[in-house]
């Protein structure tokens, strides 16, 4: 086999990531991705069977970057558990401000954006984003358990549900910031994420 010599595939991936994040899935055509990556369609369809398959790979690409830029720094053992959520928000705020300076608008959450746009149309993408969310929830829940262990959070708190609620809240805050086109919403509302609590054994009917 040939060595994985060229970076063509990666250039396509990164172009797609940037373009889709800056606008939306539907707005970005395969031709635009190719042009930005300086690649011809022949190469594109050599590496990816379809735009939707590419998008699945783009989600992984987003996740890698997210883990590096956000998770790795916020969820550090040096920081008190509950402060890690605040730290995550702080980093996210800086990132949105940075993006807004380049793009002219707040892009919001790449995962949330794709979920909102495509969940009703493409079940593959929907469930991929769902898995990403589940991964984040696990990280949040582990952090909450740590906080419970230290006594920062009472033990009757349902860590899993609270983790989900925190993620939902952050997604909502990001969406509000995007809709207002003002990142400061994140500073105003965000800190409340660390105060969210859902108690165990709330009845769940059906």
> Which residues bind to a second copy, rule: CB under 8 A?
22-27, 103, 105-108, 112-113, 115-121, 126, 129-130, 133, 161, 164-165, 167-173, 175-176, 178-181, 184-185, 187-189, 191-192, 195-198, 202, 204-206
The smaller minimum CB distance to a second copy, of residues 70 and 116, is found at 116
User: Which of a second copy, DNA, none does residue 206 bind (CB under 5 to 8 Å by kind)?
Assistant: a second copy
Binding to DNA by residue 6, rule CB under 7 A? yes
Retrieve residue 44's tokens.
């594109």
The smaller minimum CB distance to a second copy, of residues 40 and 200, is found at 200
- Taking CB under 7 A as the binding criterion, the range among 28-36, 71-79, 164-172, 177-185 that sits at the site for DNA is 28-36
- Smallest gap from Cβ 55 to a second copy, in A, equals 14
- Smallest gap from Cβ 38 to DNA, in A, equals 7
Retrieve residue 181's tokens.
């086109």
- Taking CB under 7 A as the binding criterion, the range among 5-13, 123-131, 153-161, 166-174 that sits at the site for DNA is 5-13
Q: Find tokens 């582990």 and name the residue.
A: 142
Report CA dihedral (89, 90, 92, 94) to the nearest 10 degrees: 160
Residues between 52 and 111 that touch DNA (CB under 7 A): 52
């Amino acid at each position: 086999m040939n060595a994985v010599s060229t970076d063509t595939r990666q250039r396509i991936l990164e172009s797609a990531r940037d373009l889709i994040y800056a606008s939306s899935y539907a707005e970005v055509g395969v031709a635009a991705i190719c042009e930005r990556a300086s690649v011809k369609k022949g190469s594109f369809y050599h590496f990816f069977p379809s735009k939707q398959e590419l998008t699945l790979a783009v989600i992984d690409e987003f996740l890698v970057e997210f883990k590096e830029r956000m998770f790795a720094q916020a969820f550090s053992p040096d920081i008190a558990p509950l402060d890690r959520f605040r730290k995550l928000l702080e980093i996210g705020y800086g990132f949105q401000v940075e993006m807004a300076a380049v793009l002219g608008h707040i892009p919001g959450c790449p995962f949330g954006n794709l979920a909102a746009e495509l969940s009703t149309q493409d079940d593959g993408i929907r469930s991929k984003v769902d898995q990403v969310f589940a991964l984040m929830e696990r990280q949040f829940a582990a952090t909450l358990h740590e906080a419970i262990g230290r006594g920062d959070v009472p033990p009757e708190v349902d860590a899993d549900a609270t983790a989900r609620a925190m993620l939902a809240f952050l997604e909502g805050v990001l969406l509000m910031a995007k809709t207002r086109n003002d990142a400061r919403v994140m500073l105003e509302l965000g800190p409340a994420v660390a105060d969210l609590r859902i108690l165990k054994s709330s009845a769940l009917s059906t």
